[in-house]
Amino acid sequence: MNSLIISISTYSRHKQKESEYAMKKIALFPGSFDPFTKGHEDIVLRGLKIFDEIIIAIGYNSQKKRYFEIDEMVEKIKSCFSSYNNIKVDKYTELTATYANKHRAEYLLRGLRNTTDFEYENTIAMINKDLYDGLETVFLITSPKFAFISSTIIREVHSYGGDIRKYIPYTL
């Protein structure tokens, strides 16, 4: 009889955990993050007001050659959010929609600096929705103080020996 009570109790705790997990709003913040900037950090921190958990996922973009090593960037981003247990950092080599589905993320978090970003991101959002029907894309407008920062410009400044410390939330 005692083992039946323990089994029922264990089953109930397991179902409760499963239910809590299913109710969590998990967002995937995908990108090449080459490098991860203060603008990206701002989107993640503001996203925490909407989502219970955010997965920052660095994808391999077949169209781009990386400037900063991907494993180094994973570690740098992890260091930025080490005090947050609801932010995870990972890398992936598959479709973003597939990765989101595997990790039970029902939302993609994206930042928009301007209308050009919107045109590109809107197209990507539609294909991701088509690939994974339960996936919604949430756009946050970049905070004005970070709107001029782009990874491309930061790489260019760095490649010529310029100081990029004020644009990134970690040290190189």
Task: Give the residue numbers marked as catalytic.
Answer: 40, 64, 113, 151
E strands of 1-118, at which residues? 26-31, 53-59, 87-92, 107-112
Comparing CA positions, the residue from 90, 103, 111, 89 lying closest to residue 26 is 103
Peptide bond into 30 cis (omega under 30): no
H or E stretch at 45? helix 38-47
- For every residue of 26-42, which 3-state class applies, written as one string? EEEEEECCCCCCHHHHH
CA distance 90 to 137: 19
Q: What angle do CA 136, 125, 167 make, to 5 degrees?
A: 100
